[in-house]
Amino acid sequence: MLVEKVKGALRLAAANASALALGLSPGMTLADARARAPDIRVVTHRPEADAALLKRVLLDFGRFTPMAATDGPDGLSLDVTGCAHLFGGEDGLVRAVAARAGGVGLAVRLAMAGTPEAARALARFGRGGIHEGDGQSQALRRLPVAALELSDKETQALSRAGLKTLAHLADRPTAPIAARFGAAAATRLNRVLGREDARIRPERPVPLISVDRILVEPITETSDVEAVIDDLLIEVMDRLDLRGQGGRAFQAGFFRLDGEVRHITVRTGRPTRDAAAVLRLFRERLASLARPLDPGFGFDQLRLSVPVADRLASQQRGFERTPPGAEDLGRLVDRLTARLGPEAVSRFQPVASHRPERAVRLIPAALAPAAVAPGEDGEWPDPDPADPPLRPLQMFDPPQLVLATAEVPDHPPNRFIWRRVDHRLVRVEGPERIAPEWWRTLKRPLEPTRDYYRVEDQEGRRFWLFRSGFYGEEPAPRWFVHGVFA
Amino acid sequence: MRPARDIEALRERLKAMETDGCPTDDARFDLGHAEADRHLGGLAIHALHEIYAATTPDATAALGFALGLVQRAAGDRPVVWGVQAMAGLETGQIHGPGLRELGLDPGRIVLVRVKETKDLLAAGEEALSCGAVGAVLLTAWGESKVLSLTATRRLSMAAGQGRATAILIRLAAQPQPSAAETRWRVRGALSRALEAEAPGHPTYAVELLRHRLGAQPNAWIMEWDRERGVFEQGGRNAEHQQSQRPALPGGLVSPAADGSAAARGGAVRRYG
């Protein structure tokens, strides 16, 4: 028995079969229920825990079909078109689902029918079971009008009109029903009766290609898992080959015996059909998982799917024309990305901005194959041959505050203290004035203008200092070290 | 001089044995710095070179020297640069335009950022042996047991196998035995001032600590010439510089043009 607080009173949110048999029903106040049956067990209703459990069950039921979605807060709908034969026909599939749910400790009612709405109505308002053809419409016709799940008012109106079961409605023309109870009621009726079919929206996007391996004996060893993935990969690559495509991402789903599901994805920089290379990526990924793959009592099903694919010519001839090494570098990037994550492996991309900290950004190397010319946004500036480096090799983000002194305000500094070290400056060049990009900071207060100086201390270290703001203004100017030159 | 030649021959034989029968290659590169090149007789391209920053603030100088070596050794081939996160936090993140200012196209570089030393080594080894990169730079932070003799040995083997140059930059660490072909210690050096006492081109005080083929430890001041892509004899001895010139007096420009002009023709001093 679950209770929740509704408008200040504790009311029953859900009750199990034995409580229902005692005449208790959801919506009743707790005091009322206690008066009827004093020794009921009461637990606070936690909808978010229910939702989490449902989500886990949904993931696990992904083993039956990739087209799985939640149905309200307490139901699941599975589109099993073309999946039943894997489990020995529809009977076998329903038995497998029931066994699976029983194993997790759920009390379920299952129904299988031609459309999702029909199955839902049969499960919630009928007796469940497998229905098709005439049997299905017979069973549906026997359902009460409540099975349409219209609002209470409309349901009541239907009953008052003497329309108690769907059969009463089914034989009537739809137009008057739509006119009286709204178009929604008519659509609902058509769907429940299986006259109209609406697809369910699966929780996970359906991959282009998906291959399953159901294991009679659960496996726990890494080597076994890799062997199965290898098998599946070869199958997937064959299918990709037929489509003239190469995978850009590969996802392995590990279905554990106790219902836990783990999905692991590897991505490649360019489309590939190289099973060995992708297996290597999976190996890297599995070895470097922050939360290692825990087989528990073993995996009883593995699935390999390809969520993203690109065109790839059927035969990989003509590689001689691509610059030698380019392919290898791409693979190296893929391997490193699989092991360290996409953020860890990056390339520099120039950005057209005069703000030094914005002049460059790092993009994941896997996204930027070597062939793509840099500079969609900006270009690397060409230094003047006579100039020494005007931008530092290393930069601090954010700039580091220092204590600098200049003998006369508004003049270059002659010493500064940074990290408790006193740097006496022997060479100074500047200022290079860099104004803030006011058009980017319309919402925020404008940053002060910066005056940059290239300086060298007596030890031969070269820094990039700047003064933020001007003397004689509020707030008082501050000095920062922004970078270090080689 | 006969014994010396015998020793040399023995060394060659030992070297052949050490590389487990892999064909050793003699590809070498020079620095463009006449004196250092005479002393070293070139550096092996497909080998591991180790560079220590003398102090933490010299990290950028060490990186600058390493980038010079990369350009000398690897030409225009891709470069993988592994950086330990701590190094970036302490000494600043690598700035793309700054690479360009040293003559290296930032588009050639694949930056790999890792936290742990072991990941740095694994990534470095993988990149070196794959055969697609010209050079691999690894910036390691702090003393680490992981950077053992064995680990550096693996790196140098991978370098030979993938025909790439490996450069290990050690920050905040004291020189330790390793399997590197050469070991260097680098600090920043006073540059030759440009007009109006402006800081000049990148200048490093470079110390050769160890050379596997037996060149004696030595030290030079090297200035990096971006346009020609060579190290030049440059700078002036830091002490000399200091005695001659006081710290900047206030904001005024000191009369320095003549001093720097004299330095250009000046003899190179040994450092250290």
Task: Output the pLDDT for position A480.
Answer: 93
> Is A388 within 8 Å of B199 when comparing Cβ atoms?
yes
Neighbouring CB atoms inside 10 A of A422's CB total 11
Across A15-140, where does the E strand assignment appear?
A: 43-44, 68-70, 76-78, 111-112, 129-130
Considering the domain boundaries, does residue A310 fall inside one?
yes
Cβ neighbourhood burial of A303 (10 Å; 0-12, 13-18, 19+):
buried
Each residue's pLDDT tens digit, B156-183:
999 988 889 999 999 999 999 999 999 9
If asked whether residues A269 and A319 sit together in one domain, one would say yes
Does residue B77 belong to the interface with chain A, where contact is any CB pair within 8 Å? yes
Contact B101 A344 (CB under 8 A): no
Mean pLDDT check: name the lowest of A173-177, A448-452, B58-62, B78-82. Answer: A173-177
- Residues of B with Cβ-Cβ distance to A328 under 8 angstroms: 130-132
When the pLDDT of each residue in chain B is averaged and rounded to a whole number, the result is 82
Residues A419 and A399 in one domain: yes
| pLDDT at site B210 | 92
If asked whether residues A30 and A63 sit together in one domain, one would say no
Place of tokens 């035969």: A315
- Give me the pLDDT at residue A327, please: 60
Last residue of a domain, one of A187, A206, A225: A206
* Contact assignment for A362 to B198 by CB distance below 8 Å: no
Which residues does chain A have within 8 Å of residue B67's beta carbon, measured at their own beta carbons? Answer: 393, 486
* Chain A residue numbers touching B251 (CB-CB < 8 A): 406-408, 410-412, 414
Per the domain annotation, does A388 fall within a domain?
A: no
Is the same domain home to A20 and A128?
A: no
- Shared-domain flag, residues A53 and A39: no
**Residue A134 burial (CB < 10 Å; 0-12/13-18/19+)?**
exposed
Give the H/E segment covering residue A363. strand A360-364
Mind telling me how many Å the CA of B58 is from chain A's nearest CA? Answer: 7
Q: Which residues pair with A301 in a beta bridge?
A: A214, A255
Is residue A200 in a domain?
A: yes
What is the per-residue pLDDT for B99?
92
- How high is the pLDDT of residue B253? 40
Q: What is the pLDDT of residue A471?
A: 81
Tallying the residues shown for chain A, one arrives at 486
Say if residues B227 and B241 touch (Cβ distance below 8 Å): no
Question: What pLDDT, on a 0 to 100 scale, did the predictor assign at position A123?
Answer: 83
* 3-state SS assignment for residue B172: coil
Tokens of B27: 């590809």
List the single best residue of A347, A402, A485 to mutate versus B (max B Cβ within 10 A): A485
Counted domains in chain A: 6
User: What percent of chain B has pLDDT above 90?
Assistant: 52
**Residue A51 CB partners (closer than 8 Å, separation 6+):** A73
Of the spans A20-24, B218-222, B261-265, which averages the highest pLDDT? B218-222
Q: What is the mean pLDDT of residues B108-120?
A: 93
Q: How confident is the model at residue B261 (pLDDT cuts 50, 70, 90)?
A: very low
DSSP 8-state secondary structure symbol assigned to residue A438: G
Q: Could you tell me if B82 lies within 8 Å of chain A, comparing CB atoms?
A: no
Of B190, B201, B251, the CB nearest to A388: B201
Cis status, amide bond into A475, omega within 30 of 0: yes
Write out chain B residues lying below 8 Å of A327, CB-based: 132
Mean pLDDT value across residues B265-270: 41
More confident residue, A98 or B245: A98
Amino acid B25: pLDDT = 60
What is the DSSP secondary-structure string of A273-339? --HHHHHHHHHHHHHT-SS----TT-EEEEEEEEEEEEE--SS---GGGSPTTHHHHHHHHHHHHHH
Nearest CA in chain A to B77: A325
Report residues of chain A scoring pLDDT below 50: 316-324, 370-375
B86: confidence class by pLDDT, cuts 50, 70, 90? very high
Whether A77 and A189 share a structural domain? no
Min Cα–Cα distance to chain B from A81, Å: 46
Q: Residue B201 has what pLDDT?
A: 92
Would residue A157 count as lying in a domain?
Answer: yes
A349 and A239 both lie in a single domain: no
Of A240 and B15, the one with more pLDDT: A240
Could you tell me if residue A389 is inside a domain?
no
- Kindly state whether residues A436 and A368 are assigned to the same domain: no
Instruction: State residue B255's pLDDT score.
Output: 40
A238 & A297 share domain: yes
A169 and A246 together in one domain: no
Q: What is the pLDDT at residue B180?
A: 92
Q: What would the CATH number be for the domain defined by B25-234+253-265?
A: 3.40.50.300
Residues A440 and A455 in one domain: yes
Q: Which of B65, B191, B250 sits opposite A456 (nearest CB)?
A: B191
Q: How sure is the predictor about B251, in pLDDT bands with cuts at 50, 70 and 90? A: very low
What confidence score (pLDDT) does residue A325 get? 52
Assign B271 a pLDDT band (cuts: 50, 70, 90). Answer: very low
B114 vs A: CB within 8 A: yes
Q: How confident is residue B219, by pLDDT bands cut at 50, 70 and 90?
A: very high
pLDDT of B234: 75
Q: Which residues from A are below 8 Å from B194, CB to CB?
A: 388, 429
Does B2 have pLDDT greater than 80?
no
pLDDT in tens, B24-51: 567 889 998 888 999 988 899 999 999 9
State the residue range of the domain holding A70.
49-108
- Percent of residues, chain B, with pLDDT higher than 70: 82
Report CB contact under 8 Å: A380, B196: no
> Is the same domain home to A161 and A258?
no
Query: Residue A9 maps to which CATH number?
Result: 3.40.1170
More confident residue, A222 or B82: B82
